[in-house]
């Protein structure tokens, strides 16, 4: 057997494993240090994790609009690391669902939503909130950032512990070239990296430094963290005036605007 033949056979033997690894949640990530991201919340339906989210004040959570179907009653778990160890006191009901009035599920445009919680959280070593980017704030390409979530593991189950991975911002020009009409330069941003988000990580934050700049929105439906179709995030800076209005004015005006839009 020649050396070349040996390496070809070795590569073939590894292909199933490589393909399987490409579909894990928070691809090539690592377990986060417990409570190092106190702003993270698990968005849950009937006690099961379905999306991520993050606290931006003591009573408001930012997440992706597609995480709510308009009828479901969701809860959020705060202060969690290992979801198996969450207590009833960590679970908070959502008082109102304030989805962006121009959310478009077909193209996943304006994929942003604010939850107002039924009770305010108390800041402590496990629970806190994170700053969000200012209006029209720009993040340069190749900036080192990070993502986190409780997405799927290689065995097809959701991760019990919070996972995280480092990513780098991709220029809008490159994002547009890879996603075409699905990518909005004014509304979105995307990333590359050895690790990245996958299913059930939607709604979690893209964090650069100490600031949440994006919301995990969508990616390649067949290959997590695909270099051909990189992960896409809602650009928070484009929605800062709307977010501030929601927090300042409360829930009713925004909910009525949402229903009038359809």
Active site residues: 66, 111, 202
CB hemisphere CA count around 119 (13 angstroms): 12
162 phi/psi in degrees, rounded to 5? -65, 130
Which pair of tokens denotes residue 85?
Answer: 């160890």
User: In this structure, are residues 127 and 55 in contact, taking their beta carbons and an 8 Å threshold?
Assistant: yes
Radius of gyration of the chain (CA): 19
Taking the C-alpha atoms of residue 76 and residue 82, their distance in angstroms, rounded to an integer, is: 14
The two beta strands, 211-218 and 205-208, are: antiparallel
Taking the C-alpha atoms of residue 121 and residue 240, their distance in angstroms, rounded to an integer, is: 22
């Amino acid at each position: 057997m020649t050396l070349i033949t040996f390496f070809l056979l070795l590569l073939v033997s590894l292909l199933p494993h490589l393909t399987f690894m490409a579909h894990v949640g928070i691809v090539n990530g690592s377990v986060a240090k417990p409570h190092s991201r106190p702003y993270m919340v698990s968005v849950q339906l009937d006690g099961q994790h379905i999306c991520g989210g993050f606290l931006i004040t003591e009573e408001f959570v930012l997440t992706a609009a597609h995480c709510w179907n308009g009828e479901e009653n969701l809860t959020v778990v705060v202060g969690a690391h290992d979801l198996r160890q969450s207590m009833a006191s960590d679970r908070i009901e959502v008082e109102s669902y304030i989805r962006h009035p121009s959310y478009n599920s077909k193209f996943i445009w304006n994929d942003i939503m604010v939850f107002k919680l039924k009770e305010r959280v108390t800041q402590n070593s496990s629970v806190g909130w994170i700053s969000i980017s200012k209006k029209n704030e720009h993040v340069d390409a190749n900036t080192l950032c990070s993502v986190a979530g409780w997405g799927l593991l290689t065995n097809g189950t959701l991760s019990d512990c919070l996972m995280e991975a480092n990513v780098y911002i991709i220029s809008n020009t490159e994002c547009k070239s890879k996603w075409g009409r699905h990518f909005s330069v004014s509304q979105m941003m995307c990333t590359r990296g050895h690790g990245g988000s996958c299913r059930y990580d939607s709604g979690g934050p893209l964090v650069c430094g100490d600031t949440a700049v994006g919301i995990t929105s969508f990616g390649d439906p067949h290959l997590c963290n695909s270099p051909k179709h990189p992960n896409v995030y809602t650009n928070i800076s484009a929605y800062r005036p709307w977010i501030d209005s929601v927090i300042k004015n409360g829930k009713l005006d925004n909910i009525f605007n949402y229903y009038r839009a359809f």
